[in-house]
């Protein structure tokens, strides 16, 4: 690889944003990620591009204003991965927000975020609130606020930003771990990188090195010998998923829970997911798990606000846990710690970006890249263009504006049905891939016979082929978790297709029998972890070895 202007270590949402911004300004940039893209925090959020209404309580007005405005930018750049949803905020006697505070708070929120007129808040009476959401508890209900937030697919958001950068000439490598930082005259000039899947190693050199590793930023600072001053404070957030028939919410709801916190319950794709917890975390950063305490806490939260639902552990179909990399503040509880980001520059020149929120990724990237371009311009002469990512569509987002997406989707649903897909399959593909769905359809059209011989439906075949050819899916888990979101929102689909998908990927990627068994076992482990609590002594789901081996 040629010498770069910028090497970004960390392929989550922050690293992806920096890569796109740097490339758009004319820098030669690359990102390396030791796992799959978005495998860490950026696939384990509440999956909302939201302004953080609760931060008004902490008087973080600037943060609310900044990320609130960012919601509309993210939506316009990628309407296929971000959807406006009306959020109900029940007003409960003795709760976090009274009626006056709710009305004023959401009004200020709308003003700070520059919300368009059609999406401005409404205040509902008790009867209006129950008409919107009959499952709400009646006891103590005083009405509700009603406002718009934006639901997203966090992993696909990260992928589409990375793809947009690569389409502009950037480089992006997953399963590429920085094992050592490289120095010249005391300045960091690159990294030694290990291909995690093959064991091969290579060096990458760059004018600037950025540490955007999320929960791992302190580890890289230790490698640099610069971990001093402020440090990270890890907290864990858990979400559970239940079938929509079991918890048939009509609206997304942001509600009070008995310990004084607030959590979300959000309908999505026939399911309802609930979260999040917020507890101090000192465990495995790669594989945080839901504990029985986490599960029982969320179930109790649901049953308190929606007493007719009577959720039980048996109702939980899947779950995920994520680690928040917050900047430590002495004496504060996890929920009180600021979500602000900060940039640290070490004596060696290593640039570290820490903290922050999914919604604020673009402004975080702008801050880092502006620092880099200012320094490079001072040393080289000349100048660089300012940040322009507020107007750069993500890959698959080239609709010419969000208002044009519905007509595009309907046309592509018809085309997909003409190819032999069901209406539901065509709609899933069109909304998931946006304007890239035509590439998926071309793969389906050219591969009908191959799909049949591999035992794959046309939908699965098209999505898998696209993931392999255009999204660097390297393992079945990449496909089932981050390329489709199915592990969380359609666990039965994962179980149905895991065998054919493993077999097809083994053939396409030339795996040995041992590699195929390892990847199949990894996927089985992820299924087990998503459907059980930490410490569960139950055996992993049995794998029919014949389903993977010898075909």
Is residue 481 scored above 90 in pLDDT? yes
Q: Is the pLDDT of residue 195 over 50?
A: yes
pLDDT digits over 129-166, tens only? 999 999 999 999 999 999 888 999 999 999 999 999 99
Confidence of residue 63 (pLDDT cuts 50, 70, 90): low
The per-residue pLDDT for range 421-475, each reduced to its tens digit, is 999 999 999 999 999 999 999 999 999 999 999 999 999 999 999 999 999 999 9
Residue 351 has pLDDT above 90, yes or no: yes
According to DSSP, residue 464 is labeled: H
Sign of CA dihedral 506, 511, 516, 522: negative
* C-alpha dist (Å) from residue 191 to 37, 166, 180, 207, 369: 19, 21, 6, 11, 19
Element at 192 (helix H, strand E): strand 187-195
Distance between CA atoms of 273 and 478, rounded to whole angstroms? Answer: 21
Q: Looking at the predicted structure, is the pLDDT value of residue 59 above 70?
A: no
What CA–CA distance (Å, rounded) separates 161 from 142? 42
CA distance 286 to 214: 11
Per-residue pLDDT of 370-401, as tens digits, reads 999 999 999 998 899 999 999 999 999 999 99
Mean pLDDT within 331-339: 69
Model-level pTM?
A: 0.94
Give the contacts of 181 (CB within 8 A, at least 6 positions apart): 188, 190, 191, 192, 209, 220, 223, 224, 348, 350
DSSP assignment of 345-411, as one string? E-TT--EEEEE--GGGHHHHHHHHHHHHHHHHHHHH-S--PPP-GGG-PPTT--SSSGGGHHHHHHH
pLDDT on residue 322: 97
CA angle (112, 62, 12) in 5-degree steps: 105
Position 260 scores a pLDDT of 86
Q: How far apart are CA 459 and CA 465, in angstroms?
A: 10
Q: What is the mean pLDDT of the chain?
A: 92
3-state secondary structure (DSSP) of residue 132: helix
**Does 113 have pLDDT greater than 70?**
no
Please indicate whether residue 72 or residue 387 has the higher confidence score (pLDDT): 387
pLDDT interval class at 546 (50, 70, 90)? very low
On the question of pLDDT at 504 being above 80, the answer is yes
The residue written with tokens 């801050």 in the block is: 367
Check whether 284 has a pLDDT greater than 50.
yes
């Amino acid at each position: 690889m040629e010498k770069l202007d910028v090497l970004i270590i960390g392929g989550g949402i922050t690293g992806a944003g920096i890569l796109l911004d740097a490339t758009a300004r004319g820098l030669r940039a690359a990102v390396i990620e030791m796992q799959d893209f978005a495998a860490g925090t950026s696939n384990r959020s509440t999956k909302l591009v939201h302004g953080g209404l609760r931060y008004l309580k902490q008087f973080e007005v600037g943060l609310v204003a900044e990320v609130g405005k960012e919601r509309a930018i993210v939506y316009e750049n990628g309407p296929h991965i971000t959807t406006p949803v009306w959020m109900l905020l029940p007003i409960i006697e003795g709760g976090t927000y009274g009626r006056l505070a709710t009305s004023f708070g959401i009004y200020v929120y709308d003003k700070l975020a520059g919300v368009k007129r059609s999406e401005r808040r409404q205040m509902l009476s008790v009867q209006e609130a129950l008409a919107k959401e009959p499952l709400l508890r009646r006891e103590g209900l005083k009405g509700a606020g009603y406002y718009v937030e934006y639901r997203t697919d966090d992993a696909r958001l990260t992928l589409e930003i990375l793809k947009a950068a690569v389409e502009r000439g950037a480089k992006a490598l997953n399963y590429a771990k920085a094992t050592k930082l490289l120095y010249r005259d005391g300045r960091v000039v690159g990294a030694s990188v290990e291909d995690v899947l093959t064991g091969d190693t290579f060096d990458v050199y760059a004018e600037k090195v950025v540490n955007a590793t999320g929960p791992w930023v302190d580890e890289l600072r230790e490698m640099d010998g610069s971990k001093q001053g402020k440090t990270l404070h890890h907290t864990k957030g858990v979400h559970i998923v239940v079938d929509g028939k079991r918890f048939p919410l009509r609206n997304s709801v942001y509600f009070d829970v008995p310990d004084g916190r607030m959590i979300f319950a959000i309908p999505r794709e026939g399911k309802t997911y609930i979260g999040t917890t917020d507890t101090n975390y000192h465990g495995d950063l790669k594989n945080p798990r839901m504990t029985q305490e986490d599960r029982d806490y969320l179930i109790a939260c649901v049953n308190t606000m929606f007493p007719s639902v009577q959720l039980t552990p048996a109702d939980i179909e899947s779950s995920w846990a994520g680690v928040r990399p917050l900047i430590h503040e002495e004496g504060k509880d996890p929920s009180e710690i600021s979500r602000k980001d900060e940039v640290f520059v070490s004596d060696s020149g290593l640039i570290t970006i820490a903290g922050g929120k999914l919604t604020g990724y673009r402004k975080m990237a702008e801050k880092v890249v502006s620092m880099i371009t200012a320094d490079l311009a001072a040393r080289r002469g000349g100048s660089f263009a300012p940040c322009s990512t507020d107007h750069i569509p993500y890959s698959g987002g080239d609709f010419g504006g969000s208002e044009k997406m519905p007509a595009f989707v309907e046309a592509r649903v018809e085309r997909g049905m003409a190819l032999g897909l069901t209406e539901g399959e065509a709609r899933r593909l069109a909304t998931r891939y946006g304007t890239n769905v035509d590439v998926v359809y071309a793969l389906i059209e050219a591969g009908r016979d191959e799909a049949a011989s591999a035992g794959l439906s046309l939908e699965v075949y098209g999505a898998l082929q696209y993931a392999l050819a255009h999204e660097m899916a390297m393992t079945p888990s990449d496909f089932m978790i981050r390329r489709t979101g199915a592990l969380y929102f359609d666990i039965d689909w994962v179980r149905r297709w895991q065998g054919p998908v493993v077999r097809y990927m083994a053939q396409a990627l030339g795996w040995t029998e041992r590699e195929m068994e390892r990847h199949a076992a990894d996927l089985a482990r992820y299924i087990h972890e998503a459907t059980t609590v930490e410490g569960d002594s139950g055996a992993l789901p049995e794998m029919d070895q014949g389903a993977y081996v010898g075909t």
